[in-house]
Amino acid sequence: VRFIDTPFEQVIATTEDWETSSLTVSSLRLDTIVANGYNISRTHAKELVERGAVRVNWTDIDRPDFMLAVNDLISVRKFGRLRLMAENGLTKKDKWRVEMAVIKK
């Protein structure tokens, strides 16, 4: 391995385009958040989790009933990443108001 000194002006900065959205979800389960974040069915999201295509905070999770917390980073292979930004409380029908930021591939 060889390192080459480069001026700071030539360093390439990465830009990530996070799209924020507010959603109402039935629970904070991993399969529910993945399904609502990428607009896919919960059954398909559950299959992705069980196959090992989903990571939470860079750890492989294969349980669809895994409960998420604020600032968890979810990475779904071939779909992109999403971050659970905030919990905004419950609605009258006991659903969660959440804010998510999504990077789609």
What CATH number is attached to the domain comprising 54?
3.10.290.10
What is the tally of structural domains in the chain? 1
Q: Note the Cα 27 to chain centre separation in Å.
A: 15
Q: What is the pLDDT of residue 105?
A: 61
Within a domain: residue 62? yes
Within a domain: residue 8? no
Separation CA 86–CA 47 (nearest Å): 26
Within a domain: residue 31? yes
User: Averaged in consecutive runs of 10 residues, what is the pLDDT profile of the chain (105 residues)?
Assistant: 85 81 93 94 96 95 94 94 94 94 81
> Domain residues for 25?
17-104
Within a domain: residue 11? no
Separation CA 8–CA 97 (nearest Å): 42
